[in-house]
């Protein structure tokens, strides 16, 4: 199985990046292929330009990311919630890379996903406890607008969305270890039955 892990956090030392590394290392140990696309480290330009609209040939940076997605069997997004949504760099990656004609097309019956057969995993973090996201309705909004809308449009099957609440700068070691174990278990349970790459 080939995986693309898209990481959207400006700090390599962030807990978001630690979770992405633990997830990727678990898959690698299982014999899977892992490509990490660290959007800040890549200096990914998130601004969709006029010339990219209307089915134009994608710019080189977009074509490279599309080739990674096309070759992958599974795509994972790792990001912190910023204003209850994804960091702008990831939104821009989705705008530009998951483009019309690559990730989906418009048919008479509606949008048709072109990434069918691929699996999607989402891992998010927030300062707010998960119970508060539930109570405010943020969690439902995230599941509908970020997960279902984006992945469903592309035909990607969402196999898991794991959320880590109360991720604060003074995260206790014990909690950090438990969270890292949880993301390793996530990798194993989502892909245990799948053959290695
Ligand atoms: C610009 C910005 C916006 C944020 N918005 C939210 C938010 O809407 N809800 C929330 O719970 N946390 C919010 N946070 C906190 C992050 O989600 C939190 O820092 C994250 O859990 C920590 O992950 P990290 O240690 O990998 O940075 C925000 C942080 C930043 C920098």
Dihedral angle of Cα 85, 12, 19, 99, to the nearest 10 degrees? 50
* Residue ranges, the chain, pLDDT below 70: 193-197
Q: What is the pLDDT of residue 153?
A: 94
Output the residue whose Cα is nearest ligand 1's atom 29. 82
Residues near 100 by beta carbon (within 8 Å), at least 6 away in sequence: 55, 106
Distance in angstroms (rounded) separating the CA atoms of residues 126 and 53: 33
User: For ligand 1, is residue 153 a contact (CB within 6 Å)?
Assistant: no
Cα 85 to ligand 1 centre (Å): 9
User: How far is the centre of ligand 1, averaged over its atoms, from the C-alpha of 90 (Å)?
Assistant: 14
Q: What is the pLDDT of residue 197?
A: 63
- Give the C-alpha separation, 54 to 6, whole Å: 25
Which residues are CB-contacts of 98 (< 8 A; sequence separation ≥ 6)? Answer: 69, 104, 115, 150, 153, 154
d(CA 4, CA 36): 6
Q: Is the CB of 7 under 6 A from ligand 1?
A: no
The DSSP code for 151 is I
Distance 191 CA to ligand 1 centre (A): 28
Confidence (pLDDT) at 56: 86
Please report the pLDDT score of residue 195 as a whole number: 63
82, 88, 130, 180: residue to mutate for ligand 1 pocket, most atoms within 8 A of CB: 82
Determine the pLDDT at residue 159.
97
Residues paired with 37 in a beta bridge:
6
Identify the pLDDT of residue 54: 87
């Amino acid at each position: 199985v080939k995986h693309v892990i898209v990481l959207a956090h400006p700090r390599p030392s962030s807990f978001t990046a630690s979770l992405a590394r633990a997830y990727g290392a678990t898959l690698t140990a299982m014999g899977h292929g892992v490509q990490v696309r660290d959007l800040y480290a890549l200096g990914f330009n998130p601004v969709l330009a006029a010339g990219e609209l209307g089915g134009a040939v994608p710019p080189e940076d977009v074509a490279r990311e599309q080739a990674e997605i096309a070759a992958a069997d599974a795509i994972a997004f790792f990001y912190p919630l910023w204003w209850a949504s994804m960091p702008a760099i990831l939104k821009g990656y989705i705008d530009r890379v998951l483009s019309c004609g690559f990730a989906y097309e418009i048919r008479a019956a509606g949008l048709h996903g072109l990434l069918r057969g691929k699996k999607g995993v989402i891992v998010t973090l927030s300062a707010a406890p998960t119970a508060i996201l539930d109570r405010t309705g943020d969690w439902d909004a995230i599941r509908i607008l970020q997960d279902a809308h984006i992945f469903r449009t592309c035909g990607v099957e969402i196999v898991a969305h794991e959320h880590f609440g109360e991720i604060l700068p003074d995260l206790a070691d014990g909690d950090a270890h438990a969270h890292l174990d949880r993301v390793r278990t996530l990798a194993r349970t989502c892909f245990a039955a799948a053959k290695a790459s």
